[in-house]
């Protein structure tokens, strides 16, 4: 008797699974919807290829620029160029006002600089080529605020006092 109930239950379970599988397979997407989705996919692929082409063109195309200017910074440390000569001081660790430190190769000028002194660093004019995407960056991207400036005078030692 138990075996008959088990076989009956198992048979009903198989029928129920078969009905579910057939129900899931019977729903199809109308051909018009399928064609519309395929056309949209092809259109998006074409747009993607066009955008990638423009990005590659802009990345490879350079813009000739002229770089010059000046900034005020405090020399925090004078250190050697450990790649070329690990004893002669030739690099200055500089911090502009309320900004992060960075290094500048100053070469022989390192002998004239004093740590914890503020100097005006002038950037000699130089022609360079940069990527178009960098050239097209906004003033905000570069952290430039051209609407405000602070004027002050420096004495011979580069100090504002």
Q: Is residue 56 part of a domain?
A: yes
Residues above pLDDT 90, as percent of the chain: 21
More confident residue, 125 or 59: 125
- Other CB atoms within a 10 A radius of the CB of residue 154 amount to 13
In a domain, 88, yes or no: yes
Counting the structural domains of the chain, the total is: 1
* Within a domain: 45: yes
Burial (Cβ within 10 Å: 0-12, 13-18, ≥19) of residue 94:
buried
Q: Can you give the residue range of the structural domain that contains 106?
A: 32-136
For residue 99, being part of any structural domain is answered with yes
User: What is the pTM assigned to this prediction?
Assistant: 0.44
Residue 37 placed within a domain: yes
Is 19 within a domain?
no
43 falls within a domain? yes
Q: Which of 52-61, 105-114, 120-129 has the lowest mean pLDDT?
A: 52-61
pLDDT given for residue 153 in this prediction? 53
In a domain, 86, yes or no: yes
**Residue range 73-85: average pLDDT?**
89
């Amino acid at each position: 008797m138990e075996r008959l109930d088990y076989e009956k239950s198992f048979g009903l379970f198989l029928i129920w699974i078969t009905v579910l599988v057939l129900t899931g397979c019977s729903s199809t997407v109308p051909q018009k919807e399928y064609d519309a989705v395929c056309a949209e996919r092809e259109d998006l692929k074409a747009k993607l290829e066009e955008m990638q082409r423009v990005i590659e063109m802009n990345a490879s195309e350079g813009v000739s620029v002229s770089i010059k200017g000046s900034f005020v910074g405090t020399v925090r440390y004078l250190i050697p160029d450990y790649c070329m000569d690990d004893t002669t001081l030739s690099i200055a660790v500089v911090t502009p006002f309320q900004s992060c430190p960075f290094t500048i190769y100053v070469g022989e000028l390192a002998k004239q600089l004093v740590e914890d002194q503020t100097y005006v660093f002038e950037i000699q004019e130089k022609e360079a080529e940069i990527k178009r995407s960098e050239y097209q960056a906004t003033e905000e991207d570069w952290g430039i605020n051209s609407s405000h400036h602070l004027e002050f005078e420096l004495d011979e030692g580069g100090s504002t006092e």
